[in-house]
Structures are given as structure tokens and as C-alpha cells.
Structure 1
């Protein structure tokens, strides 16, 4: 039975470590083996510190995939959908590997990350390291609950994981990563009622506005899309806040069985509708990174490591 990587559909944790790396040599055979070893590291720490609820994701950048696994290509593998409109941008930034490490203990995240870097040297350069944390019962630093629209229960798996439509990659997931930086000073100058209008929910108790009371530029409207059959265009988000006393933001990780919902939601937010209604929240936050990756199943990674 195909086994998906645990971190894709894992429940929220207290801490996360996000690593984006670039591969600097062409030793694909060694990298295939080392990626399988990273999975073994995750499994070891999950067993050794089971109370910490350890999980992880190893995902391969869409450009690097052709070097690493040239004989098998996911059907919808595609680069990050760079999107621009006026002063709103979704840039693409370098990244051959994306590694998400989550646990309820930051020291465990750190220990796993240190071993991952040691394992991958000297084959990689670390492009970016970001530490995420759970904030006030699942809220973004803006004060609003994040991930309310995430699919629940078993539906997470049908949304986030490739099914029988691509048999070689069943259990895999298309991963899109963006690091947003908030302008907290500008955001905090708004009245709570203005913030709520922009998000489309109440701040204190996270109640969604009725549709006839929701502004077309609200974050809720711009991210709630349907296809031609009336079905929700869903992704599973593994977002967490990050930052310190100087810089604050949200690290966004989207997992889905297809890259199309992410692309459509991004376009809806940045470009907007025919009336020019874009996601007004983008006036207060901006994406500084962007990457498209694919996280294959554990079975795939282990099998390819043998070849």
C-alpha cells in the first residue's frame, strides 16, 4: 500500500522548521539515497520522541526533479506560477529541496534539522531557514484564526494527495511555499471592524460573515473558489506564523493533489475579478518567496533510492 509522507496531512503542531536548499553538484544517485535517509531520520525521531508528534515533508523543486528522477515525471509538474498585478506580486525564488519539520518541541525540530543539514553536506547550500510557531490557538499574527477553511478528517487526504489519476505518484502531493511578510504597523492602525471587513470574518470568535455582508475584496471571498460544477477548489494549508520583534509574517505551505487550485487562488487574490476586486489583505502583507515542489510517496522515494 502506498504510504504518503506523514507531514502532508499532519495535525497542527506547536513548532516548525522550514528549510529551502539548493543542490550544488550533479550526483543525483547519492541525493536519491540521502533523501531516503531523511525519511529514516523523521521516523527515528517520531519513534524516539513520540510525545512530540514529529512529522516531516521532503519535497523536490520542479526544476530539480528532472535531474533527480528523470525517468518518472508527475503529470502536472509545473514551475511556480509567478503572478503580478500593480504593486501585488508573487515571485519565484530558488529552491531545489524543501524540507518541513514539525513537532511540539522546538528542540526536536532543531535536532532533526541539524542532522538533515549534516547529512546533505556538501551537496547543498541552505537558501533559507525559517522557524514557525503556533500563536494563540492557531491564529496568524494579525490576530485572525488561520486555516479555518482547511478540509477536515479524511477529506484532508482526498484534497492533499494524488490519487489514481497518476498511478506512479499516488500518495504524493503538489507543494507550494510562500513566505509572507506582514506590515504589522500598518495593519494595527486599522479599526477591528476594518480588519474584519478585509478578512471576511470576526476577529474574536472567527465567525464568517454572511455572503451578502461580505466585501468582494475580502480574503475569504478571494480564496473561496468553485469549479464549473460548483465544487470547492481546495488545498490543505500547513501554515505557521514566524518572526521576531522586528519582522513578522506567515509561512504558507499549500498541499494539494493538483497545482491548479493553488494557481487559481493566487490569481484570484492578486489579479482579482473583472471588477478589479483583489484580496485587500495584500495591502498589508507581501510574498517575499515562492516555490513549487512535489513531495512523492515514501514508497517512491525508497524505491528510487535503490536504483
Structure 2
């Protein structure tokens, strides 16, 4: 099965993220519209070859059963964490579109094409423009996605390999809002301790030198057999003159890896440790999706 190109795409300069809820009673019409999405992605790619465009549509956990007769085995609700000020909430959405390109105008054209495709059938609940910041850094100043798989391993991590949902991916999306004023008051040494790697040259600390609260320690996990629990991150920063953050996107062949990472970040271990980066950035949204293969979309799951 051919995967949607946006799942394993290499980093781009620009992105638009669109989040929709399907209007009541419009599921069958939306399902028909989604059949045309792979052709739309190909048309944009061919029309603007220099833009390196890639598209991705993913269907939300709560919307799936209203669109398709068969359900991905592991698709479930977003694994909300914590409470109060340091929490990762669940905010379900029916459809998620990731539209990326090396030309902002092409990403915008793609957004307008999606809006026209779903006109009167789905309500736009949120939109966000992402962009590359310096050499693929987060707005905190640290390189983002350093643990990402490379080459052919990207597909091995991100895509379901077998069965009726082969070529698809479990996608989790969060919009983080950074507390930049608080973060910028920290010394360079304190910031590096929170991440577990150097800021300027992006060198990861040795495991023995990492604090048990370091972000790289809390998110580098292994399963019972000792295998790394990897995800493919497709995240990009967002920002304005007054607010900054990250659209965090996880693509994986199983939702288990993301769930374990989020739990490790927010839940305290036996010694009371948690990821201290969560003190300086707050996820305002959190939703679980499945991004089916192009063939699944074209056949409407039949």
C-alpha cells in the first residue's frame, strides 16, 4: 500500500495545519471527498515540483467509525495526562491535514484547496502555520527531532507494515504553547540540563550525566525486550510577535510508543521525577488520528 507522502517526508520550510469537525449527517459526503485527496496531493506535487510539497490527511479516533466500516486495531483516544497547570489534555478533532512545502504560497494554495474540498461539509476548528526556525530548531533554541529515524528506517518506524491498514500510520498531534518569558530567564546551563544536550552544537549528554528529569532521558524509552520505542516526529514551530510554540506531530506504526513517552514526561516515577521541560511549555490540544494509505482513501475502506 502506498503511504501518504506527508507521513515520512523530509523536513520542509513551511506548513499549514488544518483541523476540522465534520458537520452532522455529512459523513458519507466527506468520505467521498476524501477519495479525491491522493489525486489532489499528486496534482500539487506535479504542478509545483520545486516546492517539495507533501500532504497528509488523518481521521480522528471519534470520527473513524462514522466514515469507514473497518477500524485500525490500535486506534483509541488520545492518552491525556496530568491535571491542573501541568497537563496534556485531550481535545478530539475529526480531521487533521498537514500541508508542507518549501514555498509558503504552495502550502497556502494547498490549504485553500482543502477548504474548497470540504466546504459546507466540515467546520474548520483550528489552523496553524508552521515554519522552519534556523537549523530545524524549536523556539526554545534547541534542535528539534534529533532522535528521528533516518532513511528507510523512517518508514519502518512510522508505517503499519502488514494487514488491511498497511501503509497507514497512527498520528498524535499536540499544539504546545511555550512559556518563553519563564524559559528565557534560565541560564544556558539550566536549559541544557533540562534538555540533556548542549544548545549551540546539539551534543547529547552521556546517559550517566543526564538528570533523571532531562527531556532526552524521559523520552528515550525501551520496551521489555530492550528495543527502542521510536516515533517519527513531523513537528514544526509556530509563532507570532507575542506567542510561540510547537505543533508536535508523532507518526508511528503503533500508538503505544507515543503513549509511553507522554506518560514518562508527565507521570512521576518512584523518586518523584518527571520531564522538567513540561514546566516551560504547555500543550493546549491533543488528538489521536489514523492516516490511512492512499489506496484506502481512494476505495473508501472497501
Q: TM-score, normalised by structure 2?
A: 0.98
Instruction: After the TM superposition, list the runs of 4 or more consecutive aligned residues in structure 1 that deviate by more than 4 angstroms.
Output: none
| 1:31-110 equivalences in 2 (<5 Å) | 31-69=30-68, 71-85=69-83, 87-110=85-108
Question: C-alpha distance in 1, partners of 2:75/2:180?
Answer: 35
Match of 2:207 among 198, 208, 211: 211
Q: Is residue 165–residue 293 contact of structure 2 (8 Å, CA) maintained in 1?
A: yes
CA contact (8 A) 1:178 1:253 kept: yes
Equivalence for 1:174: 170
Cα distance in structure 2, aligned partners of 1:27 and 1:188? 47
Partner of residue 250, structure 2:
254
Name structure 2 gaps, 5 residues minimum: none
CA offsets 1:264-287 (integer angstroms, 9 cap, x no match): 000000013221111101110000
Structure-1-length-normalised TM-score: 0.96
Aligned-residue CA RMSD (Å): 1.1
Q: Secondary structure at the match of 1:168?
A: coil
- 1:128 corresponds in structure 2 to 126
1:19–1:126 contact (8 Å) kept in structure 2:
yes
**Which residue, out of 250, 259, 265, partners 2:261?**
265
* Residues paired across the two proteins, number: 302
**Equivalent-residue separation in structure 1 for 2:13 and 2:116 (angstroms):** 25
* 1:92-117: CA deviation from partner (whole Å, max 9, x where unpaired): 11310000000001111111101111
CA distance in 2, matches of 1:81, 1:142: 25
Q: Residues of 1 paired with 2:271 and 2:105: CA distance?
A: 49
User: Matched residues in 1 for 2:75 and 2:134: separation?
Assistant: 36
- Deviation digits for residues 206-256 of structure 1 (CA, Å, limit 9, x no counterpart): 000011110010000000000011101111000000011111001100000
Q: For residues 166-245 of structure 1, what are the structure 2 equivalents within 5 Å?
A: 167-245=163-241
Moved more, 19-28 or 121-130: 19-28
Residue segments in structure 1 that go unaligned for 5+ positions in a row: none
1:147 paired residue number: 145
Confirm or deny: 8 A CA contact 2:92 2:288 kept in the other structure: no
